[in-house]
Amino acid sequence: MTETKIYIGLNDAFTLRQEHETERYIGILKNVCRSYGIPFSFSLAQGGYIHENGEYTQENTLVISLIEVDEDTVNEVAKDLCAFFHQESVMITQGTVDTYFISESLINEE
């Protein structure tokens, strides 16, 4: 299966600082994924990068994990989040992962 991750920094593209509480960004992320009807998980990470002008920035980053979501949809989600979070760009990684599920009976056996 294909796993795609979208990395969205939370620092504003122009002010270079986080303009809103992290929870607000998480709410937007959830609404975007819900509107596309895609299954997802996310995590909050911290990262750093170098701007084109050579300035180094550290920021909070949301990482969305998607399994078996078509590339067109991934790109649309990424574009929406890039715009909503006021970013220059977002990073997308893709790879093949082995995926399996384990289930256990939830029936109470007395």
Q: Which CATH number do you get for residue 39?
A: 3.30.70.120
Strand spans (E) along 51-100: 56-67, 91-96
Domain membership flag for residue 105: no
Quick one: pLDDT at residue 110?
A: 62
Domain membership flag for residue 67: yes
CA 81 to chain centroid, in Å, comes to 8
C-alpha radius of gyration, the chain, whole number: 17
Number of domains in the chain: 1
Domain membership flag for residue 30: yes
Mind listing the pLDDT tens digit of every residue in the chain (110 residues)? Answer: 999 999 999 999 889 899 999 999 999 999 999 999 999 999 999 988 887 788 888 999 999 999 999 999 999 999 999 999 999 899 999 999 998 989 887 777 66
Domain membership flag for residue 53: yes
Q: Which domain does 41 fall in, by range? A: 2-96
Quick one: pLDDT at residue 83?
A: 96
Q: Rounded to whole angstroms, how far apart are CA atoms 69 and 36?
A: 10
Quick one: pLDDT at residue 45?
A: 97
Quick one: pLDDT at residue 94?
A: 97
Domain membership flag for residue 101: no
For residue 73 the two structure tokens come to 């949809």
Domain membership flag for residue 106: no
